[in-house]
Amino acid sequence: MPPSLETRLEGAVARLRLTRPAVHNAFDAGLIADLTAALQAIAADPGVRVLVLEAEGASFSAGADLNWMRGMAAASEADNREDSLALARLMRTLDELPKPTIARVQGAAFGGGVGLVACCDIAIGVPAATFGLTESKLGLLPAVISPYVIAAIGARNARRYFATAELFDAAEALRIGLLHQVVAPDQLDAAVQRQVDLLLKAGPVASASAKSLVRDVVAHADGARHDADNAALIARLRVSPEGQEGLSAFLDKRKPAWIAE
């Protein structure tokens, strides 16, 4: 059986490519396990500063593999719970990865594929890409991916698309926040590279910590706690080696040490 995933390192950039084009990069237990393990390895690699998630073939990811779904339909509720927890671990691992992440969306994304896009910090797609949260057609709901999709598109849009299962195009994905940018296919790699370049110019600790800052701010209901936590964070950053280097470079009108000449 051919591998379901390819990992490629290009300097400080890791590229994870889904390689099941014959089944539109659909999920099965093997791909979920492989992708989770690959993400965990990237999280632990101090040499990686940016992750690009991409896919081979016409589709980004069609969600659940039909044969896998057929098997789970015949499985017990306990087995289905464990299977769903594995997908939940994958999504949380991607969402909380301590590196900035970019989704390169070259084609259609459905169900869990939408979840992958929503979990990435930056998502860039092509005009022909289509999207769908189609689980309700099967009497199901996109429960496991719902925290990330709702965070990306908002509660009102989620209520619509979770219920109707209707497909929507890249322009609508851009409007509701699932995509950050839509570019022509021949401009996709350049658009992704522009974001990579921007991330590599940012302080490594700062860019890696951005998503945890946002997550903490959203989670806090206590305004005074917000202020105290954010003040403590900026104080730590200012006196850290990276913060000191960044401020010194700015004042000295030079590039900081983390930007290669």
Residue 259 in 3-state DSSP? coil
- Do 213 and 179 have their domain in common? no
| 94 and 170 inside one domain | yes
Do residue 159 and residue 191 come from a single domain? yes
State the pTM of this model.
0.90
pLDDT at 197: 96
pLDDT the model gives residue 111: 93
Residues 195 and 224 in one domain: no
- Shared domain for 145 and 186, answered yes or no, is yes
CA distance 178 to 131: 10
Name the residue range of residue 221's domain.
Answer: 203-252
Are 125 and 40 in a shared domain? Answer: yes
Query: What pLDDT shows up at residue 95?
Result: 95
User: Does 26 lie in the same domain as 107?
Assistant: yes
What is the per-residue pLDDT for 196? 97
pLDDT the model gives residue 103: 98
Q: For residues 21 and 122, state if they share a domain.
A: yes
Assess whether 137 and 34 both reside in one domain: yes
Q: Is residue 259 part of a domain?
A: no
- Amino acid at site 75: A
Please tell me the distance from the alpha carbon of residue 52 to that of residue 157, in angstroms, as a whole number: 26
Question: What per-residue confidence (pLDDT) applies to 221?
Answer: 67
Which residue, 155, 171, 199, sits at the end of a domain?
Answer: 199
Judgement on whether residues 185 and 210 belong to the same structural domain of the protein: no
Is 261 part of a structural domain of the chain? Answer: no
End of a domain among 172, 199, 226? 199
Among 4, 141, 146, 138, which Cα is nearest to 73's? Answer: 138
Average pLDDT per consecutive 10 residues, the chain (261 residues; last block may be shorter):
85 96 91 95 96 97 81 75 85 95 98 96 98 88 90 96 96 98 98 97 90 85 68 73 81 85 65
User: Which residue in 230, 259, 179, 261 sits closest to 12, CA to CA?
Assistant: 259
Q: Are residues 19 and 103 in the same domain?
A: yes
pLDDT given at position 234: 66
Give ∠ CA 200-52-205 in degrees, rounded to 5: 35
Indicate the residue among 163, 179, 199 that finishes a domain. Answer: 199
Do 244 and 135 share a structural domain? no
Find the CATH number of the domain harbouring 159: 3.90.226.10
